[in-house]
């Protein structure tokens, strides 16, 4: 793990954004894996800035998002698809035909197979962006007794519901989601994990210094050979 402790979220966003934009300039038809939540937003802002300055184009990039809630109708304001269009896709030249999401309302087994095949057909994910949950989850892979492989339907933990329900004002937060599995995340060629704030400090310590266990899903990243971990001082305070 290449662990970097930076000053603030803007520096973290610029560091992750630079890795992505440099890579896209080298390989314009690459495959990027995106995450939702607060952690990647400064990265997306950096990418938008670079695009606006004419320094990068995403028009040939294919994207796969990590997860999607179950039970929300297409186009719902709290869906992760909406999040990605609002925070990145509508602000750069990404081709909407090249973006991929899990369908939280599809049959679990068929959807898992469809997503795995779509990723494989594109040659795999080149760079995957990740956040980390307060409980050590990556994507929506919650602490459990085993590491999963391909996409699956997960029941969200109370910790995740507590953390994410702030985004649901007039809608009840779903209690399940479709998520890329740990195996599919680990097959990404490069991973960039972003964690900021003291609420992530315990999970960050367990991810980096704890044993590799599905009770802290992010700990599996110790076994990935090209993972960059970008932290602020608060998230790094226990390591
Ligand atoms: P956050 O979520 O970026 O909103 O903190 C991260 C996660 O739960 O994986």
Cβ(37) – ligand 1 distance below 6 Å: yes
Written in H, E and C, the secondary structure of 63-91 is EEECEEECCCCCCCCCCHHHHHHHHCHHH
C-beta neighbour count of 4 within 10 angstroms = 14
33 Cα to the center of ligand 1, angstroms: 15
Query: Would you state the pLDDT for residue 78?
Result: 96
CA of 37, closest atom in ligand 1: 4
Output the CA torsion sign for 35, 40, 45, 49: negative
Task: Note every long-range contact of 158-166, with CB atoms under 8 Å and residues 24 or more positions apart, other chains counting.
Answer: 159/133, 159/134, 159/135, 160/133, 160/135, 163/133, 163/134, 164/37
67 is catalytic: yes
Span 76-123, pLDDT tens digits: 999 999 999 999 999 999 999 999 999 999 999 999 999 999 999 999
Residues near 162 by Cβ (< 8 Å), separated by ≥ 6? none
37 Cα to the center of ligand 1, angstroms: 5
Cβ(161) – ligand 1 distance below 6 Å: no
Q: Which two tokens stand for residue 198?
A: 């003291």
Q: Whose CA is closest to 186, among 218, 211, 208, 214?
A: 218
Span 152-209, pLDDT tens digits: 999 999 989 998 999 998 889 999 999 999 999 999 999 999 999 999 999 999 999 9
135 is catalytic: yes
**What DSSP assignment string belongs to 134-188?**
TTS-BTTB-S-SS---S-EEEEPPHHHHHHHGGG-SSSPPPSEEEE--HHHHHTS
Span 136-152, pLDDT tens digits: 999 999 999 999 999 99
Cα separation of 99 and 96, whole Å?
A: 5
The one catalytic residue in 137, 141, 150, 164 is: 137
Interhelix angle 41-52/9-26, rounded to 10 degrees, is 50
133 Cα to the center of ligand 1, angstroms: 5
The one catalytic residue in 45, 67, 111, 150 is: 67
Q: Which CATH architecture has domain 2-232?
A: 3-Layer(aba) Sandwich (3.40)
Cβ(136) – ligand 1 distance below 6 Å: no
89 Cα to the center of ligand 1, angstroms: 19
Output the CA torsion sign for 149, 151, 153, 159: positive
Q: Whose CA is closest to 48, among 86, 8, 101, 99?
A: 86
Query: Would you state the pLDDT for residue 205?
Result: 98
Span 29-56, pLDDT tens digits: 999 999 999 999 999 999 999 999 999 9
Section 67-83 average pLDDT: 96
Give 221's DSSP letter: G
Judged against a pLDDT cut of 90, whether residue 28 lies above it is answered with yes
The one catalytic residue in 45, 65, 126, 135 is: 135
Query: Would you state the pLDDT for residue 19?
Result: 98
Q: Specify whether the CB–CB gap between 144 and 219 falls below 8 A.
A: no
50 phi, psi to nearest 5 deg: -65, -40
137 is catalytic: yes
Query: Would you state the pLDDT for residue 170?
Result: 87
Query: Would you state the pLDDT for residue 105?
Result: 97
Judged against a pLDDT cut of 90, whether residue 18 lies above it is answered with yes
Atom 2 of ligand 1, residue of closest alpha carbon: 37
């Amino acid at each position: 793990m290449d662990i970097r402790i930076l000053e603030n979220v803007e520096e973290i966003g610029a560091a992750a954004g630079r890795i992505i934009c440099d890579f896209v300039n080298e390989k314009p038809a690459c495959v990027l894996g995106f995450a939702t939540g607060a952690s990647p937003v400064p990265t997306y802002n950096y990418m938008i800035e670079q695009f606006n300055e004419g320094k990068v184009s995403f028009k040939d990039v294919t994207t796969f998002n990590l997860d999607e809630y179950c039970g929300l109708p297409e186009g719902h304001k709290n869906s992760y698809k909406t999040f990605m269009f609002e925070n990145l896709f509508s602000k750069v030249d990404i081709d909407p035909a090249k973006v991929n999401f899990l369908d939280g309302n599809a049959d679990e087994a068929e959807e898992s197979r469809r997503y795995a095949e779509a990723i494989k057909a594109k040659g795999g994910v080149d760079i995957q962006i990740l956040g980390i949950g307060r409980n050590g989850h990556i994507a929506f892979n919650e602490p459990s007794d085993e590491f999963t492989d391909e996409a699956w339907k997960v029941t969200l933990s109370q910790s995740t519901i507590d953390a994410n329900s702030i985004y649901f004002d007039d809608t009840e937060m779903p209690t399940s989601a479709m998520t890329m599995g740990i195996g599919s995340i680990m097959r990404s060629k490069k991973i960039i994990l972003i964690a900021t704030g003291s609420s992530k400090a315990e999970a960050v310590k367990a991810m980096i210094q704890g044993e590799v266990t599905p009770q802290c899903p992010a700990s599996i990243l110790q076994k990935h050979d090209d993972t960059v971990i970008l932290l602020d001082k608060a998230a790094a305070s226990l390591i």
